[in-house]
Amino acid sequence: MRSLLALAALSTCICYGQASSTITLSNGVHLRITASFGQAALTTEMYPASGDSFYRIFRDASGLAVFAYELAVERASNDTFQLTARPAEMAFAKRFPDIDGGKPTPTLDATQKLPLLHSGERASVGLFKSLATEDPVIDTIEVRLEASEAGATAGARSGLRLAGLRIFINGKEVMAPGPRGAVAGQYVMFYLPGHGGYFFSTEAPAGYANFVKVGTIEGKRVKFTLDNDNFECMADQPILLRSGANSGGGAGSGELWVYHDPNYRPQGNWTLGADTSARAPQEFFAAASDSLRWWLS
């Protein structure tokens, strides 16, 4: 039997094996999840579940799921976040019917709320023990609110950065309320009210055939054409990040793959600014991540 550990607020657990995932939002929210699993041969995946939550899935070397749960991240106030770990139940089973070879995927015994987190604090979820190595598997979640653009680019070795973005469609600037802070990661996106979501990559993402190579990056400028509309995006900092040049130097150029979802609508209040009563569908926001699964199923 895969035994579950207690859910508790802990400091980061240092083990032999670790895998981390990050996301940055233009409202200054930086979320980092690190899975510690000792010497076990595991991989992690994330898929959107609801407006405030996503599924965390752990697979073994054969590719079968050995554990899954739902993690909700809710912005409780200006500088506090409520994290809730939930069992992956019927909705998960219907969405991923064969993820564990047709068997029910092991999950948490019950819903557990973590203590409210302030910026820079961490909480950990004890999940299970590896059958092969008996190593405990723990997810550690850190939420930070960045006060400067420099913090948003920390740890981004290569990929894309959007900072202070201004958007022009057919030569006319599109104005929308919302934060314009810096985001940086392997993939970036922005949501424009009335237009939907735009998702960007510096190469053709595997498994996402709807991305098309229609754009170019030149220093602080991005140009692309979609649906007979010409887009030009101007940033405050170089957009293309290179390994070893992630602190702002080296304005590079390159090609851009773009996917537009006109029906994309933001959900969940942790993408909002400090005023959590604001309506997200009326607000511009940008985000960056090391996985497209943060936004796209």
Give the H or E element holding residue 150.
helix 149-153
Residue 98 and residue 172 share a domain: no
Q: What is the mean pLDDT of residues 23-33?
A: 89
Q: Is 150 a member of any domain?
A: no
249 in the same domain as 131: no
Residue 240 lies in a domain: yes
Residues 166 and 141 occupy one common structural domain: no
pLDDT tops 60 at residue 242: yes
Q: Is 67 a residue whose pLDDT tops 50?
A: yes
pLDDT single digits (tens) 123-142: 999 999 888 888 899 999 99
Boundary residue ending a domain (145, 177, 200)? 145
Are 134 and 221 in the same domain? Answer: no
Does residue 25 lie within any of the structural domains?
yes
For residue 76, the model assigns a pLDDT of 84
Those residues whose C-beta lies under 8 Å from the C-beta of residue 297, and which sit 6 or more positions away, are 47, 48
Q: Is 1 a member of any domain? A: no
Q: Provide the pLDDT for residue 148.
A: 46
Q: Is residue 2 part of a domain?
A: no
Judged against a pLDDT cut of 90, whether residue 297 lies above it is answered with: no
Task: Tell me: pLDDT of 214 over 90.
Answer: yes
Same domain as 75, residue 42: yes
Specify the pLDDT at position 102.
85
Confidence band for 77, pLDDT divided at 50, 70 and 90: confident
Q: Are residues 124 and 197 in the same domain?
A: no
Domain end point (choices 88, 120, 145): 145
Q: Please give the model's pTM, rounded to 2 decimal places.
A: 0.83
pLDDT above 70 covers a percentage of the chain that reads 84
Please say which residue of 145, 177, 194 terminates a domain. 145
Average pLDDT, the chain: 83
Tell me: pLDDT of 165 over 60.
yes
Q: Rounded to whole angstroms, how far apart are CA atoms 230 and 221?
A: 13
Residue 92's domain spans which residues?
7-145
Predicted confidence (pLDDT) at residue 204 exceeds the cutoff of 90: yes
Whether 20 and 129 share a structural domain:
yes
Same domain assignment for residues 71 and 23: yes
Total number of domains constituting the chain: 2
Q: Could you tell me if 121 and 180 lie in one domain?
A: no
On whether residue 233 sits in a domain, the answer given is yes
Output the pLDDT for position 85. 96
Number of CB atoms found within 10 A of residue 66's CB: 22
Say whether 126 sits in a helix, a strand or coil: strand
Asked whether residue 151 is domain-assigned, the answer is: no
Q: Is 66 in the same domain as 164?
A: no
Model confidence pLDDT, tens digit, residues 247-285: 444 568 999 999 999 999 887 777 766 665 656 668 898
Q: Which of 3-7, 25-29, 144-148, 213-217 has the highest mean pLDDT?
A: 213-217
Q: Considering the domain boundaries, does residue 26 fall inside one? A: yes
128 and 173, same domain (yes or no) = no
Domain match, 13 and 140 both:
yes
